[in-house]
Structure 1
Amino acid sequence: MDLGLKGKKVLVTGGSKGIGKGIAAGFLAEGAEVAIAARSEEGLREARTELGNVHVIQADLISEAERDRAHKEAVETLGSIDILINNVGGSSGSSVEETPLSSFEEAMQLNYLSAVQFSKAVLPDMKEKGSGSIINISSIFGRESGGKATYNNAKAAMISFTKALADEAASFGIRVNSVAPGAILHPSGNWQKRLEENPEKINQFVKDEIPAGRFGTVEEIADVTVFMASQRASWVTGASLNVDGGQSNMNM
């Protein structure tokens, strides 16, 4: 299926590894021009070697000033941004009682406020063009309990923001959606570390908690994200789509 993405200008935050890198690869395969932003210079070098024709932007996206710089650099590099993928994120802390307030603040900056800032930054140009797609990579744990509170709180806020912005932007031809992955296995992810540390426990988790009987892959998240960004999904906006092999316990 031709998704009509050839020549589209795409920015992927947190694009040097894992799901972000997989999403970048998916857009490149469709003929899009892609820039990825991430903190690690080494990770960006490795991603450029692996992905080939991709633009890299080094920035610490927990910082408001760095996010502003990264957006400006992406526009200078690409000329404009047709598709924004807000993927950067991370998990920290333990129980609510034992997690310092600073960890909640950092989680909101990285997972949530980064998406808000980048979305606000691309809106004026998208409105002028009368088109655009913004996709926020959230989590099934932004929709139900599970995982660390810092992460879940930020991802829940991201999903709420997705619907709010989608309703505002729809009349300008801009679609805003969220993709909510379940447990995804990749070399740089937390699930890989947990699997190596305690394979018996994690294999039992998969058996008990994921009806499909296995972890998801980066490519499976990327395929859905690329489709959602394309005009093949032109009537989809304000949605949060689980991509989880049935792991979520929600009825919707």
Structure 2
Amino acid sequence: MNLELKRKNVFVTGGTKGIGRAIAEAFVQEGAKVAVCARTKPEHWPQEIAVVTGDVTNAYERERIFADVTAIIGPIDILINNAGGSNGESIEKTDMEEFYEAFELNYFSAVHFSKLVLPAMKSSQEGAIIHISSIFGREAGGKATYNNAKAALISFTKALADEVASEGIRVNSLAPGSILHPTGNWQRRLDENPEKIQAFIDNEIPSGRFGTPEEVANVVVFLASSKASWVKGTSLQVDGGQSKANF
């Protein structure tokens, strides 16, 4: 299928490892022009993907990152808000500062970058914004700081989608389940206690295995393309059946 993404300018936050890297590489394979941001640039990085370093939890840094990215690849046609992470413990034991940090990383960074891309997208009357959320933004599970921020992100997706749909801009979110990659928490847990993690897979994931970053990336690329032109404001599960939700 020709997804018509050649020469599209794509910006992926948190794009140097795991799901973010797989997304960036998938767009490159489709012929898009791709830039990513991350705290640091990895060694042996593919030269066809531009990297801008910075801290997306800081509003001033986000503005600087965005200016650098657009200077390199031009106005953004497709924004993938992938930067995210989990912190804290139980609610009682988690400091308020950790809640603020979780929202800056998982939620406010996505809101801010979305606002920054809107003027150019409105000018061209087209664009796609995709937020990488989580099944735990849709239902209970995981740490409250992360869940709360991802739930807010799903709500923001629908609100922004309805505002800009008439201007040719599509906004959606993806809710991955448990994804295994070398730098992720699941790999660390698997290394620490293989039997426990296998029991988790057997009990919680109907497909009988973890998902891969590439399986998420394939859905992202389709959702960003014109082939998904009538998909707006949705939260799409990509989880191998892991979610308990039936809608």
Bin of the TM-score, shorter chain as denominator length: over 0.9
Q: Which residue of 1 aligns with 2:22?
A: 22
Cα drift, residue 50 of structure 1: 4.3
Cα drift, residue 79 of structure 1: 1.3
Aligned residues between the structures: 247
Choose which of 82, 91, 97 in structure 1 pairs with 2:86. Answer: 91
- CA distance in structure 2 between the partners assigned to 1:186 and 1:79 by the alignment: 31
Does residue 37 (structure 1) correspond to residue 37 (structure 2)? The answer is yes
Q: Which residue of 1 aligns with 2:160?
A: 165
Q: Which residue of 2 aligns with 1:54?
A: 49
Asked whether the equivalents of residues 25 and 51 of structure 1 are also in contact (C-alpha less than 8 Å), the reply is no
Choose which of 204, 209, 213 in structure 2 pairs with 1:209. Answer: 204
Asked whether the equivalents of residues 33 and 54 of structure 1 are also in contact (C-alpha less than 8 Å), the reply is yes
Spell out, residue by residue over 1:60-90, the C-alpha distance to the aligned partner (whole angstroms, 9 max, x if none): 1111111110111111111110000000011
Cα drift, residue 216 of structure 1: 0.1
Spell out, residue by residue over 1:133-183, the C-alpha distance to the aligned partner (whole angstroms, 9 max, x if none): 000000000000000000000000000000000000100000000010000
Does residue 125 (structure 1) correspond to residue 120 (structure 2)? The answer is yes
Look up the SS of the partner of 2:93 in the other structure. Answer: coil
TM-score by length of 2: 0.99
Which stretches of structure 1, 4 residues or more, deviate above 4 A after TM superposition? none
Choose which of 104, 107, 111 in structure 1 pairs with 2:106. Answer: 111
Cα drift, residue 52 of structure 1: 3.3
Does residue 221 (structure 1) correspond to residue 211 (structure 2)? The answer is no
Q: Which residue of 2 aligns with 1:4?
A: 4
- CA distance in structure 1 between the partners assigned to 2:24 and 2:166 by the alignment: 28
Asked whether the equivalents of residues 162 and 176 of structure 1 are also in contact (C-alpha less than 8 Å), the reply is yes
- CA distance in structure 1 between the partners assigned to 2:39 and 2:60 by the alignment: 13
- CA distance in structure 1 between the partners assigned to 2:225 and 2:196 by the alignment: 39
Structure 2 unaligned blocks of 5 or more: none
Q: Which residue of 1 aligns with 2:76?
A: 81
Q: Taking every aligned residue pair, what percent have the same amino acid on both sides?
A: 62
TM-score by length of 1: 0.97
Structure 1 unaligned blocks of 5 or more: none
